[in-house]
Amino acid sequence: MSKVDAADKTQDMTPHPVHVVGAGMAGSEAAWQIAEAGVSVVLHEMRPARGTEAHQTDRCAELVCSNSFRSDDSEYNAVGLLHHEMRQCHSLIMRAANAHQVPAGGALAVDRNGFAEAVTTALTQHSLITIQREELTALPEASAAWGDVVIATGPLTSPSLAESIRALTGEDALAFFDAIAPIVHRESIDMSKAWMQSRYDKTGPGGTGADYINCGMDKDQYEVFVRELITAPKTDFKEWEKTTAYFEGCLPIEVMAERGLDTLRYGPMKPVGLTNPHTANRPYAVVQLRQDNALGTLYNLVGFQTKMKYAEQPRVFRMIPGLEKAEFARLGGLHRNTFINSPRLLDPQLRLKTKPHIRFAGQITGVEGYIESASIGLLAGRFAAAAAKNQTVTPPPRTTALGALLAHITGLAEAETFQPMNVNFGLFPPPDTRQGGRERKLAYTQQAKKDLQAWLSCNGRQQAA
Condensed to tens digits (0 to 9), the pLDDT of residues 215-236 reads 999 999 999 999 999 999 998 7
Q: What is the pLDDT of residues 330-359, one digit of tens each?
A: 888 876 677 888 998 999 999 999 899 999
Residue 414 pLDDT > 90: no
Q: Is 7's pLDDT higher than 50?
A: no
Sequence-separated (6 or more) residues with CB below 8 Å from residue 306: 179, 180, 181, 182, 252, 253, 254, 313, 332, 333, 334
What b-and-e string marks burial along 20-59, b requiring 16 or more CB atoms within 10 Å of the CB? Answer: bbbbbbbbbbbbbbbbbbebbbbbbbbbeeeebebbebbb
Which residue type is seen at 101? Q
Please state the rounded mean pLDDT for residues 81-99: 98
DSSP state of 189: S
96 contacts 115 by C-beta, under 8 angstroms: yes
Q: Is the CB of residue 184 less than 8 Å from the CB of residue 287?
A: no
DSSP class of residue 369 equals S
Residues of the chain with CATH 2.40.30: 179-336
Q: Which fold has domain 179-336?
A: Elongation Factor Tu (Ef-tu); domain 3 (2.40.30)
Q: Which CATH superfamily is domain 6-173+340-459 in?
A: FAD/NAD(P)-binding domain (3.50.50.60)
Mean pLDDT of 389-395: 92
Residues in contact with 77: Cβ distance below 8 Å, sequence separation at least 6, in sequence order: 70, 71, 441
Query: What gap in Å lies between CA 340 and CA 162, rounded to an integer?
Result: 10
pLDDT value of residue 5: 36
If you average pLDDT over every residue of the chain, what do you get? 87
Burial of 242 (0-12, 13-18, 19+ CB in 10 A): exposed
Q: According to the model, what pLDDT value does residue 65 have?
A: 76
DSSP 89: B
For 230, other C-beta atoms within 10 Å of its C-beta total: 13
Whole-number percent of the chain with pLDDT over 70: 86
For residue 264, give Cα distances in angstroms to 175, 201, 368.
25, 21, 22
> Which pLDDT belongs to residue 239?
56
State the span(s) of the chain assigned CATH 3.50.50.60. 6-173+340-459
Q: Report the sign of the C-alpha dihedral through residues 58, 236, 137, 387, in that order.
A: positive
Which of 272, 287, 278 has its CA nearest to residue 317? 287
Rounded mean pLDDT, 353-373: 92
Among 55-59, 247-251, 369-373, the range of highest mean pLDDT: 369-373
How far lies 19's CA from each of 136, 324, 381, in Å? 11, 49, 10
Give CA torsion, residues 152, 154, 159, 161, to 10 deg.
10
Amino acid in the structure at residue 285: A
Sorting pLDDT into bands at 50, 70 and 90, what band is 415?
A: low
The span from the CA of 457 to the CA of 96, in Å, is 25
Burial of 211 (0-12, 13-18, 19+ CB in 10 A): buried
Provide the 10 A C-beta neighbour count for residue 228. 17
- Is residue 376 within 8 A of residue 406, CB to CB? The reply is yes
pLDDT band at 465 (very low <50, low <70, confident <90, very high): very low
Q: Roughly how many angstroms between the first and final C-alpha of the chain, as a whole number?
A: 26
165 pLDDT tier (thresholds 50, 70, 90): confident
The sheet with strand 107-110 has its strands ordered as 68-71, 107-110, 101-102
**CB neighbours (10 Å) of residue 180?**
22
463 has pLDDT over 50: no
CA atoms within 13 A on the CB side of 177: 23
Cβ atoms of residues 37 and 382 within 8 Å: yes
Say how far apart CA 182 and CA 200 lie, in whole Å. Answer: 25
361 contacts 28 by C-beta, under 8 angstroms: no
